[in-house]
Amino acid sequence: MSSTVNESKADLAPLRTVKRGGGRAGVPRSWPHVVGPPLILVAAGLATSGNEYYLHLATAAAIAYVLTASFNLIYGYGGIFNLSIIITYGLGAFTSVWLEVRFDMSFWLATVLALLVTAALSVLIALPSSTLNELFLAIQTLAFALALAEVLSNWDEFTGGTVGIYLIPSPSFFGTDLIGGLPAFYWLTAVAVGLVAELMRRIHRSGVGRRLVALREGPRVLASVGVSPASTRLLAFGLSGAMAGLAGVLFAHFQLVIELETFNFNRLAALLLATILGGAGYLYGPLFGVLALMVMDELSLATSQAQDLIYGVGVLVLVLATRGGIAGAIERLVRRLTGRRRRPEPELTADGHPATPIRAAARDAAPPGGPPRELEVRDLRVAFGGTVAVDDVSIAVRTGDVVGLIGPNGAGKTTLLNAITGDVRVAGGSLTLDGGSLLGMRQQDVVRRGVGRTFQSPKVIPELTLLENLMIAGDARGGAGWVRQVANSPRSRRIERETRERALGLLADFSLSSRAHHRAADQPYGVLRLVEVARNLMLDPAFILLDEPGAGLTEFEREEIAATIRSLSERQIGVVLVDHNMLLITSACDRVYVLDAGRVIAEGPPAEVFARSAVRAAYLGAVE
């Protein structure tokens, strides 16, 4: 398979598949994707400049691309159904025009300020939403859109009231007027589109894209690797708000007349259609989506059919027939066409890391120096309404210890882990790491202090490769910041390269090298459990809390997990192991705590504890 095919496939994929081998970290070499958009824009400009109608269409399509890319960023990548995007688009349009007319500002300065306003306002929408789930966040954005529309409709000076604003000044560039609808304005739009396309490519290929996709797939995963879901959300709102604002600015100066009524829900429906049809979360989704809408529009004109009908049927057919929209369909086609010729994945090893089982790697690894650390839970209490799930529980773990936490279903084991990692509110007691309190900390901050965890059912990002799943954790560990990542600065490239090497090294330790570039969605349960542990190791934790790592595994996989747990202890990591499998607990743990109805009823070495009658009684029928 040629590298070009590899690259094309990579950019059609929902996020990117990181290239193998020597490519530059950060934004790998990908010339077709760098020069492709400018070439398309130049070709479209040259082809349409002689025909007013086609030139108009090309400019409109270019602006629609910017708006669709903005929605694709927040919805397709980030999974946030931001219904305020159209009013943000309108706000960009009105703000720039108002600044130019009211303050005699230049188009360029007004554009910059309009983008700042739309980005800031978008961030403002997201600010109070950090604890909302997807549905409530969507409702909040809708409420915001309605409120803003109401405010704007009453601000006649800003929006021109029912008449709207006409006599919009044309941008001027070194004395040349760039008048909407004429070729010069197309070239202005083309430059803006080229910049947005490049920005999207960089987001797509950097840690920013990984963060956004992780947000879409599960905010808990992000927090569990030390990345703040709330700040990722704000980033998504800010970036997409600025892009929607840019689309609005271009739209206003292209149309030369704007009225508030234009930014209505029909436009939102068309935007949704373009995003979903094109392929939400795909780099080229907005391009395909806008082209598809144009074709539909042309069809509706040519056939004199009602536009709504065409839209309706188009949506049904394409959404049902093509999962992932047009970009998804093309990706599957390319995969099918090239699948047979695919060479087997090479075993990947980082320097000095042979692809050996983790226990061998751990045996060879020198244990980290420094004094032992201690995680201590004292008289901890968690209640859900009237149910006391954790009732005055005290446990202590030191680095290098493997401590089992067992008990019948509903005993409070997972809740205790959730309380330690800041996932549930604690009603009483103390929780300390090396004497410092962890109480009240957000999950990502607990993780950053050295307490990692896995979940009862493995939480990975199915759309990402195993390598990328590990790299998300690396992004939290001294990442370069989104501006540097998007700018592809030398520092961000170095960090990306180091993160990648570290992730490859860990995958090699877990004998997962050959799967490094495979999507997590295609991997068996046992592999995902190992990936979760490896992802934690990216952060050099002092403690790992494992929630039923043996559940759903074969006997062989369970032995692998037991070996992995022992190797964690050899690495001087403290392990809290929740599991129902007594063989696993006995073989892996130095000490166990038995919970029943939220209380610790026994504590000690496994063999001793299992011999007690109270433990047997609590467990009767609950153990394997």
Ligand X SMILES: Nc1ncnc2c1ncn2[C@@H]1O[C@H](COP(=O)(O)OP(=O)(O)OP(=O)(O)O)[C@@H](O)[C@H]1O
Please give the residue ranges that form the binding site for ligand X (CB under 6 A): 384, 387, 389, 407, 409-415
Which is closer to ligand X, CB of 319 or CB of 597?
597
- Please give the backbone phi and psi of residue 537, each rounded to the nearest 5 degrees, phi first: -65, -20
Provide Rg for the chain, Cα atoms: 28
Which is closer to ligand X, CB of 159 or CB of 415?
415
- Please give the backbone phi and psi of residue 531, each rounded to the nearest 5 degrees, phi first: -60, -40
CA-CA distances (angstroms) from residue 409 to 96, 217, 460, 558, 581? 60, 28, 24, 20, 13
Both tokens of residue 343? 């060479």
Counting Cα atoms < 13 Å in the Cβ hemisphere of 518 gives 18
CB of 74 vs ligand X, minimal distance in Å: 29
CB of 372 vs ligand X, minimal distance in Å: 28
CB of 440 vs ligand X, minimal distance in Å: 18
Sign of CA dihedral 122, 127, 133, 138: negative
What amino acid occupies position 617? A
CB of 229 vs ligand X, minimal distance in Å: 18
Which is closer to ligand X, CB of 264 or CB of 387?
387
Which is closer to ligand X, CB of 387 or CB of 554?
387
Q: Determine which helix (DSSP H) or strand (DSSP E) holds 471, and give its type and residue range.
A: helix 466-476
Which is closer to ligand X, CB of 412 or CB of 526?
412
Measured between alpha carbons, how far is 292 from 64 in angstroms, rounded to an integer? 12
What amino acid occupies position 73? L
With beta carbons less than 8 A apart as the criterion, state whether 41 and 490 touch: no
Which is closer to ligand X, CB of 516 or CB of 602?
602
CB of 391 vs ligand X, minimal distance in Å: 10
CB of 585 vs ligand X, minimal distance in Å: 13
CB of 456 vs ligand X, minimal distance in Å: 6
Sign of CA dihedral 385, 390, 391, 392: negative
With beta carbons less than 8 A apart as the criterion, state whether 453 and 536 touch: yes
CB of 545 vs ligand X, minimal distance in Å: 12
Measured between alpha carbons, how far is 350 from 371 in angstroms, rounded to an integer? 29
CB of 407 vs ligand X, minimal distance in Å: 6
Q: Determine which helix (DSSP H) or strand (DSSP E) holds 7, and give its type and residue range.
A: helix 3-12
Which is closer to ligand X, CB of 63 or CB of 420?
420
What is the strand order of the sheet 591-596 is part of? 451-453, 543-547, 574-578, 402-406, 591-596, 599-604
Which is closer to ligand X, CB of 253 or CB of 453?
453
- Please give the backbone phi and psi of residue 14, each rounded to the nearest 5 degrees, phi first: -50, -50
3-12 helix and 325-339 helix, angle to the nearest 10 degrees:
150
Cβ partners under 8 Å of residue 360, min gap 6: none
Measured between alpha carbons, how far is 67 from 243 in angstroms, rounded to an integer? 7
Which is closer to ligand X, CB of 122 or CB of 414?
414
CB of 139 vs ligand X, minimal distance in Å: 22
Which is closer to ligand X, CB of 185 or CB of 593?
593
CA-CA distances (angstroms) from residue 227 to 215, 369, 446, 476? 10, 26, 11, 5
Number of other residues whose CB lies within 10 A of the CB of residue 122? 30
Measured between alpha carbons, how far is 221 from 337 in angstroms, rounded to an integer? 34
Which is closer to ligand X, CB of 112 or CB of 622?
622
Number of other residues whose CB lies within 10 A of the CB of residue 599? 15
Give the 3-state secondary structure of 122-139: HHHHHHHHCCCCHHHHHH
CB of 621 vs ligand X, minimal distance in Å: 13
CB of 381 vs ligand X, minimal distance in Å: 12
Which is closer to ligand X, CB of 73 or CB of 393?
393
Both tokens of residue 295? 């074709």
The strand pairing partners of 465, in sequence order, are 519
CB of 597 vs ligand X, minimal distance in Å: 8
With beta carbons less than 8 A apart as the criterion, state whether 422 and 443 touch: yes
Which is closer to ligand X, CB of 357 or CB of 410?
410
Both tokens of residue 293? 């809408």
DSSP state of 263: S
CB of 28 vs ligand X, minimal distance in Å: 42
With beta carbons less than 8 A apart as the criterion, state whether 373 and 434 touch: yes
Residue at token pair 């789930």: 133
CB of 546 vs ligand X, minimal distance in Å: 13
Residue 337 burial (C-beta neighbours within 10 Å; 0-12, 13-18, 19+)? exposed
Which is closer to ligand X, CB of 405 or CB of 467?
405
Which is closer to ligand X, CB of 411 or CB of 467?
411
Give the 3-state secondary structure of 418-448: HHHCCCCCCCEEEEEECCEECCCCCHHHHHH
